[in-house]
Amino acid sequence: MKTKGYAVKAAKAKLEPFEFERRALRPNDVALDILYAGICHSDIHQAREEWGPALFPMVPGHEIVGKVTALGSSATKFKVGDLIGVGVFVDSCRNCTNCKSGLEQYCVEGMTGTYNGYERDKKTIAFGGYSDKFVIDQAYAVKVPANLDLTGVAPLMCAGITLYSPLRTWQAGPGKKVAVMGLGGLGHMGVKFAVAMGAEVTVLSHSANKEADAKKMGAHHFVCTKNSEVFETLRMNFDLILNTVSADIDIDPYLKCLKLDGTLVVIGLPGKPYAVNVGTMLDQRRRLAGSMIGGVKELQEMLDFCGKHNIVSDVEVIKADYINTAYDRTVASDVKYRFVIDAKSF
């Protein structure tokens, strides 16, 4: 199937128009016309090889919403015309304990990423969502609730689930004080979800000009972290801190903001190790954890939660020829709060 998209051909190169073929439908596949594709900071990290060697040409994009156009001979999960979402992985081994428990993102063989890797045949390069068409095994796609504003749905497929999952795992809810570090694509979804779950929510941001937006999203408190003295007032304050910061930072002052048995979950992946002060961890029996996206079952649960609470991402819709500028603006923390590409522009 002839497909138009944008690709990066070498590390740090600009993205440019790229045509390629999607596979013919296998029995369990669905084909979709992509409507919108979000730009995740992970796309930028990989296109710029900030996580180590990458596979080129790369068509990034793992926040995809589209309309089903064709079904494989055995595919019954969706109908032609259904709105579906595709996220960060398109397959996994399906046999390990984690896959069998709906935690495909932690597949012991490694999930099959939507791009920057090979499909399970180990020879076909997987091309992602910066394109106009997609083909995926129905088991790895999810149904989008009909009531949501479609432009803000694509980012739910990575930014949304990546914050929803730890908020559920660490039981954010009434009586819990939750802080979100970084008000970007991921962070702003964390604020919306934590507020909807009933937690008391604080945004910890290095951008003073984001306070009004944070409050509009429902955050109860906003603290600008530019001035390090603010950390004194936050000592032993939070049950849960979700770190979505994409850059290298010192996390010790943030760890000190956890109260007894509190947990800081690392979600942002700058690509360099964090230094951890053991004394800070011993004090207050603090915990440091990680969390990566969410499985297919939880993706559907998250989308249904969004449908019920009318939650979508705040987006700036762009045309494909703006992607390179959008990358630079994202790195400069200048996006409100997710760039989404209109797939008609490929």
The residues that touch ligand NAP, with contacts defined as CB under 6 A, are: 40-42, 45, 158-159, 162, 182-187, 205-207, 210, 244-247, 249, 267-270, 291-293, 330, 333, 335
In terms of CB distance, is 139 or 331 closer to ligand NAP? Answer: 331
Following DSSP, what letter does each residue of 117-150 receive, concatenated? Answer: SB-TTSSSBP--SSBSEEEEEGGG-EEPPTTS-G
**Dist CA 40 CA 35 (whole Å):** 16
The candidate with the shortest Cα–Cα distance to 32, out of 72, 68, 2, is: 68
In terms of CB distance, is 108 or 247 closer to ligand NAP? Answer: 247
Choose the one of Zn ion, ligand NAP, none that binds residue 178, judging by a C-beta under 5 to 8 angstroms depending on kind: none
Q: How far is the CB of 343 from ligand NAP (least distance, A)?
A: 19
Q: How far is the CB of 80 from Zn ion (least distance, A)?
A: 28
In terms of CB distance, is 40 or 197 closer to Zn ion? Answer: 40
Question: Is position 96 an interface residue for Zn ion (rule: CB under 5 A)?
Answer: yes
Q: Which of 25, 93, 125, 288 forms a contact with Zn ion (CB under 5 A)?
A: 93
**Dist CA 71 CA 196 (whole Å):** 36
The dihedral through the CA atoms of 252, 256, 258, 259 has a sign that is: positive
Choose the one of Zn ion, ligand NAP, none that binds residue 45, judging by a C-beta under 5 to 8 angstroms depending on kind: ligand NAP
Other Cβ atoms within 10 Å of 72 Cβ, number: 17
Question: Strands 83-86, 142-143: parallel, antiparallel or unpaired by DSSP?
Answer: antiparallel
How many residues in the chain?
346
Q: Report, in angstroms and rounded to the nearest whole number, the Rg of the chain calculated over CA atoms.
A: 20
Choose the one of ligand NAP, Zn ion, none that binds residue 244, judging by a C-beta under 5 to 8 angstroms depending on kind: ligand NAP
Q: How far is the CB of 207 from ligand NAP (least distance, A)?
A: 3
Choose the one of ligand NAP, Zn ion, none that binds residue 60, judging by a C-beta under 5 to 8 angstroms depending on kind: none
The candidate with the shortest Cα–Cα distance to 241, out of 158, 178, 316, is: 178
Question: Is position 107 an interface residue for Zn ion (rule: CB under 5 A)?
Answer: yes
Choose the one of ligand NAP, Zn ion, none that binds residue 93, judging by a C-beta under 5 to 8 angstroms depending on kind: Zn ion
Q: How far is the CB of 125 from Zn ion (least distance, A)?
A: 19
Residue nearest to ligand NAP (CB): 184
Q: At what angle do helices 185-197 and 159-169 cross, to 10 degrees?
A: 40
Q: Which of 42, 225, 243, 330 forms a contact with Zn ion (CB under 5 A)?
A: 42
**Dist CA 67 CA 75 (whole Å):** 15
Note the residues at the interface with Zn ion (CB under 5 A).
40, 42, 92-93, 96, 99, 107, 158
